Amino acid sequence: MPIVQVHLLEGREEKDIKNMLLEVTEAISNSLHVEKERVRIIVNEVPSSHWGIAGVSKKEIDIDKVNKK
């Protein structure tokens, strides 16, 4: 049974995540030749304050971009 973990920044539309679940399930099922019912997907939505890029949180980066405009 394949288990896939997807980490995303929070804030996406529920319909987009639902679509991603369908498409990832399809891709895993086809590439690994397993039934779709055996595919498990765990979606972890991470707050931008907990997502680091080069030692700085995504939230801080976004604030800096707004302030520079």
Amino acid 68: pLDDT: 84
Please give the structure tokens belonging to residue 49. Answer: 């304050």
Name the residue among 3, 65, 13 with its Cα closest to residue 39. 3
Name the residue among 55, 58, 54, 56 with its Cα closest to residue 46. 58
Catalytic residue numbers?
2
| Prediction pTM value | 0.83
Range scoring the smallest mean pLDDT among 14-18, 48-52, 59-63, 65-69: 65-69
State the chain's maximal CA–CA distance in angstroms: 50
